[in-house]
């Protein structure tokens, strides 16, 4: 399941803090801050999608993620590869390296990661 842009922004806050109360969430937003009802609606939708849950602590809810950030983005990238690159990770990698304006140092770092993966696969 996919999150909207606003839901992803809120999930980033939850992922970065691990557990948050509504006050913490509101404080995390830049000015102008969204209305409490807007945040509550986003949280409810995200609960319905099984991305977040909460613990009741007195009268307050402490929200936490049910989905790991890595799992969400791995699934998201997998969808991009399937839908836009004919399910070819090679075509995606080629596009990524050509179109993202990586520096030579970043390309060298990426090359090291690839070399490490090749070594692991060959063992």
75 and 43 in one domain? Answer: no
Domain extent at residue 112: 69-122
User: Over the chain (123 residues), what is each successive 10-residue block's mean pLDDT?
Assistant: 91 94 93 94 97 95 96 89 90 88 90 91 88
Q: What are phi and psi of 4, to 5 degrees?
A: -75, 170
Please tell me the total count of domains within the chain.
Answer: 2
Whether residues 13 and 60 share a domain: the answer is yes
Residues 56 and 90 in one domain: no
End-to-end CA distance of the chain: 36
Residues 13 and 58 in one domain: yes
Nearest to 21 by CA among 48, 50, 60, 47: 60
- For residue 67, which of 55, 53, 54, 86 has the smallest C-alpha distance? 53
Structure confidence at residue 1 (pLDDT): 75
| Listed residues 50, 65, 80: the one ending a domain | 65
Evaluate whether 21 touches 61 at the Cβ level (below 8 Å). yes
């Amino acid at each position: 399941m996919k999150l909207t842009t606003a839901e992803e922004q809120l999930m980033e806050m939850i992922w970065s803090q691990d557990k948050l109360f509504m006050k913490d969430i509101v404080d995390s937003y830049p000015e102008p801050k969204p209305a409490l009802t807007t945040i509550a609606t986003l949280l409810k939708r995200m609960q319905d999608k099984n991305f977040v849950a909460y613990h009741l602590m007195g009268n307050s809810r402490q929200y936490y993620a049910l989905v790991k950030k890595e799992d969400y983005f791995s699934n998201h990238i997998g969808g991009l590869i399937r839908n836009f690159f004919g399910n070819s990770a090679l075509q995606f990698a080629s596009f990524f390296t050509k179109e993202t304006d990586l520096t030579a140092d970043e390309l060298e770092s990426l090359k090291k990661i690839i070399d490490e993966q090749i070594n692991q696969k060959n063992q």
